[in-house]
Amino acid sequence: MRAPPSLLDTLYRTHARRVQATLIRLLGDFELAEEAMQDAFVAAAQQWPAKGSPDNPQAWLIRTGYHCGIDQIRRRSTARRRAHLLLPIEETSEFDDVAIADDSLRLLFTCCHPSLSIEARLALTLREMCGLTTEQVARALLMKPSTVAQRIVRAKRKIRDAHIPYAVPAPDTLPERLPDVLQIIYLVFNEGYSSSNGAAVVDISLTREAIRLGEELAALLPQGEVFGLLALMLLTNARRDARQDKQGGLVTLEAQNRHLWHQKEIHTGMEWLEQALALTPVGFYTLQASIAAVHAQAHDPGQTDWARIVRLYDALCRHYPSPVLTLNRAVAVAMHDSPATGLSLLNELSHHPQLSRYYLLYAAQADLLRRQGNNDAARDAYQKALTLTSQDPEKRFLLSKLAEL
């Protein structure tokens, strides 16, 4: 059977990160594994149209990538020095789904090793586990691409030179490693749910990967914040099909068709949230999941309990202060109280260095100005937001709002 033209694209989107994670383990080097993975996909593009796709495409890509990596090492003068890093592959054990899934978890903990700075951990994981470009990582972290590139290079060098193990840590060291790992999974999910580039709002492969990693972590370390993060991701991801219209435009939460929300995911998310709330202290992800639960329980926008959402944001801002949370709280206050009250809070944030070029700040201002009937000022704010986003659906949404005005 011949491989359909879209097969390689689909495989790359859904499996490239797992293939690379396993190749890092087998070849012992980030850069070599990435090159080998690319070589494997090139080989597939050349061979599969004529010979047909293999029964297990992911295993074929790993096996081919491994041999491409070996060939590269043999051509280099460092072959003898690197030989001890290579692992022999066993056909029956290296390519099954469990082994490949374990490699993703190993890669996650390697990227989150405490000897790396938190900034390096975040950048490395988004680059290596999610396959984002350096520019996309920079946008996700609100940093310059050159800074991100330097941190990624230094992190890889430290992993290599310090012989940081490619493994899930021992149980007694897991708790201290947890906060950074949770933060990174959350960033992976956010990049998938609100892609920083391209024509689609949601990258389902990234959101699924983040949820899968969360489930793996919950089995490994059943703690309240792990449950809270899983609840947050599921309750949020349940809205994915309602976030774009048929023309590809962004649809705000208020305007979404709630019949398109996935009730099974909402139910599962609520179950995880109940488990999280039963364990104290209640942390960042559990509070965020509680906000998502308020939205999930409202059958229409008018039923949203904005007073509870404001109280939850109060708790978040008190314990985990950040400009983005403060922005979200201002919008919630506006929905609960009045646009004028919300605008007053947003104006206080307009000079914050992390938000001055954040398009959502100006989009929120524009929306509240529109609700006030101040169309001229709303138009200016929408124009400002439009200059600060590169995502096609967001641009279409902002242009549609400008057209309405």
**What is the full DSSP assignment across 160-228?**
HHTT---SPPPGGGHHHHHHHHHHHHHHHHHHHHT-SSSS-S--HHHHHHHHHHHHHHHHHS--HHHHH
Tell me which of 103-107, 197-201, 254-258, 328-332 is least confident.
Answer: 197-201
pLDDT for res 346: 94
pLDDT reading at 91 higher than 50 = no
The string over 49-76, giving b where at least 16 C-beta atoms fall within 10 Å of a residue's C-beta and e elsewhere, is: eeeebbeebbbbbbbbbbebbbebbeee
For residue 399, give the H/E element and its range. helix 392-404
**Domain 327-405 class?**
mainly alpha
pLDDT for res 259: 95
Summarised one tens digit per residue, pLDDT across range 179-188 is 888 988 998 8
Query: Within the chain, which residue ranges are assigned CATH 1.10.1740?
Result: 1-95
pLDDT reading at 336 higher than 90 = yes
pLDDT reading at 227 higher than 90 = yes
With the C-alpha atoms ordered 63, 68, 74, 76, is the resulting torsion angle positive or negative?
negative
pLDDT for res 122: 82
pLDDT tier at 286 (50, 70, 90 boundaries)?
A: very high
Tokens read off for 11: 């495989």
pLDDT for res 93: 47
Task: Match 């389902």 to its residue by tokens.
Answer: 204
Tell me which range, 76-90, 93-107, 140-154, 296-310, is most confidently predicted by mean pLDDT.
296-310
Tokens read off for 118: 């938190």
| Interatomic CA distance for residues 261 and 267, integer angstroms | 11
Contacts of 329 (CB under 8 A, 6+ apart): 310, 313, 314, 316, 317, 345
If you average pLDDT over residues 248-266, what whole number do you get? 92
- Helix intervals (H) in 55-161: 57-75, 79-82, 97-111, 118-128, 134-141, 145-161
Residue 156 corresponds to which amino acid?
K
pLDDT tier at 1 (50, 70, 90 boundaries)?
A: very low
CA dihedral 157, 161, 165, 166 (to 10 degrees): 40
Q: What is the mean pLDDT of the chain?
A: 86
If you average pLDDT over residues 384-400, what whole number do you get? 87
**Which CATH fold would you assign to the domain 1-95?**
Rna Polymerase Sigma Factor; Chain: A (1.10.1740)
DSSP letters of 344-394? HHHHHHTT-TTTTT-HHHHHHHHHHHHHHT-HHHHHHHHHHHHTT---HHH
pLDDT for res 184: 84
pLDDT reading at 30 higher than 70 = yes
Question: How large a percentage of the chain has pLDDT more than 70?
Answer: 90
Query: Within the chain, which residue ranges are assigned CATH 1.25.40.10?
Result: 327-405
| Interatomic CA distance for residues 269 and 264, integer angstroms | 8
pLDDT tier at 201 (50, 70, 90 boundaries)?
A: low
If you average pLDDT over residues 22-50, what whole number do you get? 90
> How many C-beta neighbours within 10 Å does residue 42 have?
13
pTM above 0.75, yes or no: yes
| Interatomic CA distance for residues 39 and 41, integer angstroms | 5
Nearest to 18 by CA among 164, 162, 190, 212: 212
Tokens read off for 18: 């797992």
pLDDT tier at 376 (50, 70, 90 boundaries)?
A: very high
If you average pLDDT over residues 239-256, what whole number do you get? 87
Show contacts of 300-304: CB within 8 Å, 24+ apart.
Answer: 300/258, 301/253, 301/254, 304/335
pLDDT tier at 354 (50, 70, 90 boundaries)?
A: confident
Please check whether residue 337 is in contact with residue 344, taking contact to mean a CB–CB distance below 8 angstroms.
Answer: no
SS3 of 238, please? coil
pLDDT reading at 205 higher than 50 = yes
Show contacts of 251-256: CB within 8 Å, 24+ apart.
Answer: 251/397, 252/397, 253/295, 253/301, 254/301
